[in-house]
Amino acid sequence: MWMTELDKTERRTMAGCFLGWTLDALDVQVYSFVIPALMVGWHITAAEAGVLGTVTLLASAIGGWLSGLAADRFGRVAVLQATILWYAVFTFACGFTQNYEQLFICRALQGFGFGGEWAAGAVLIGETVRGAYRGRAVGIVQSGWAVGWGMAALLFGLFFSIMPEQLAWRALFWVGLAPALLVFWVRRHVPESVVFTKGRRERRNRGMLRQLLAIFRLDYLATTLRVSALATGSIGGSYTFLIWLPTYLKTTRGLSIIGTAGYTTVMIVGAFVGFILGAYLADSIGRKRTFMVSAIGSAVILAAYMLMPISNGAMLVLGFPLGLCAFMMFSPMGPYMTELFPTRMRAAGQGFCYNFGRGIGALFPALVGKLTSVMGLGNAIAAFGIAAYAVMLLAVLLLPETLGRPLPDDAETPLQNESGAAKSYTPS
C-alpha cells in the first residue's frame, strides 16, 4: 500500500487537508439544501436564490487569488488556518440572518475564506507529498469534499425531520462553525512545506505588486489563461447541478425531504468513488486523459439525467455515475496546477486559476435560476452543464501533460526545459 511508504509529515499533511476539504464542503453545500426553505420562508425567487449561490463563488475567486498571494509570502499553513477560521465564522453567521440582504453579505464573506482554503491547501499537499504519489495523495484528500457533502445531506435529512423548517435551515448553518476546531489541530501537527521554506526570504523581498502580477507575464500568460479555462469548465459544470439538484428533486420530481436526501446521497457516494478513481488514473494514464474521460462522461450522463424521460428509479441509478464522472476531474486538478507553476508563484497561480474558474462558473447557477421560468429547471441545468464541459475539453486539448515531471524550478519558465531550450507543449 503506497500510503505506508509516506513519512509522518506527508501523512499528517494529508490528514489536515482532508479534514479541511471535508468541512469546507459541509459549510458550502448546506446552502443547496436550504434553498427550498428560503424560497418559501422569505418569498424569494429562483433567480434570487441563484444569486445567493453565485455570490459565494464570486467572492471565492477574489479570496483564492489574494490568499494564494499571501501563501506565497507568509506560508501555506498559516494561510490555511486563517481561511478555515474565516469561512467557519461566516457560515455560522448565516444562521442568524434575518433577510435576503444580510444573508447575501454573509455568503459573500464566507466565499472569501472558502476560496482561500483551496489555494493554500492544494499547494501545501502538492509540495509536501513526493512526486510519485502526488496525484493519488491530492485526489484522496479531495475526496474529503464528498464526505463533507454527504455530511450536509445527512444533517439536512435529520434537521428537517425533527425541527420546524424555518429553524432547521438555521441549524444547518450553525453547524458550520465546526471547522474552527480544525485550526488548533493543524497548528500543532501540520508543518510548513520544505519547498516553500527554502526560498522564503527571497520571495518576501519581491514587491507585492510584482508578485501579484507575475502569473500574467508573457511567458506564463498562455498557461494562466488555459488553466483558468480548465477550471471554469470543470467548476461551472459541477456547480450548475450541485446548487440546484436538491431543488430539482424536490420541486420538479416531487420527492420528499427524505427522498431528496437519499437521491443526493447516491450521487455523493459516486462522487467519493470518482475522487478515488481519478486519483489513481491521474498517476497511471495521466492528468489530461483523466480530465477528458471525466468531462465527456459528465456531459453525456448529465444530458440523460436531465433531458431524457426517465423514471425516478432510473434517476437513482444514474446518480452514481454522474457523481463519479463529475468529480473524478478534480483529483488531478491540484497536482496538475502544482506541476505547471514554479514555487515563487505557485499558490498565486493555483489560487487565481482555480478561483477564476469558480468566479466565472459561479455565474452558471445564477443564470440557471433566471432561465428556469423560460425553459424549465432541468433543461437549464443541462444546457449550462454541457456547455461548461465543452469549455473544459477545449482547454485540456491546449494544455501539456505533466505526469512524471518534477516540480518546475524557479529558474525556468513553463516553456523551458532544464537546458533552457524551448519545450514543446504538444498535447499528449
Compute the distance between CA of residue 185 and CA of residue 190 in angstroms, rounded to an integer. 8
Compute the distance between CA of residue 300 and CA of residue 298 in angstroms, rounded to an integer. 6
Residue 232 near residue 286 (C-beta atoms within 8 A): no
Helix axes 363-375, 346-361, angle to 10 degrees: 10
* Nearest to 86, CA basis, from 110, 120, 51, 50: 110
C-alpha cell of 329? 476531474
The residue behind cell 434575518 is: 98
Radius of gyration (C-alpha) of the chain in whole angstroms: 20
C-alpha cell of 57? 463563488
CA dihedral of residues 294, 66, 244, 377 (deg, nearest 10): -90
Sign of the C-alpha dihedral computed for residues 85, 86, 92 and 93 taken in this order = positive
**pTM (predicted TM-score):** 0.72
The residue behind cell 444547518 is: 172
Contacts of 270 (CB under 8 A, 6+ apart): 319, 320, 321, 322, 323, 324, 327
Which pLDDT tens digits describe the chain residue by residue (428 residues)?
A: 777 888 888 888 888 888 887 887 888 788 888 888 888 889 888 778 878 877 887 788 788 778 877 887 788 888 888 888 898 899 999 999 999 999 999 998 988 887 777 778 877 887 888 777 777 787 788 788 788 888 888 898 899 889 998 899 999 999 988 888 888 788 788 888 777 777 655 555 555 566 667 778 887 888 899 999 999 999 888 878 777 777 777 777 777 766 777 777 888 889 889 988 998 898 889 999 999 999 999 999 988 888 888 787 887 888 899 889 998 998 888 888 888 888 777 777 887 888 788 778 777 777 887 777 788 888 888 888 899 999 999 999 999 998 877 777 654 444 444 333 334 333 33
Q: Which domains does the chain have, with CATH numbers?
A: 2-187+207-398 (1.20.1250.20)
97: DSSP letter: -
* Nearest to 161, CA basis, from 259, 32, 44: 259
- Residue 103, φ and ψ in degrees, nearest 5: -65, -35
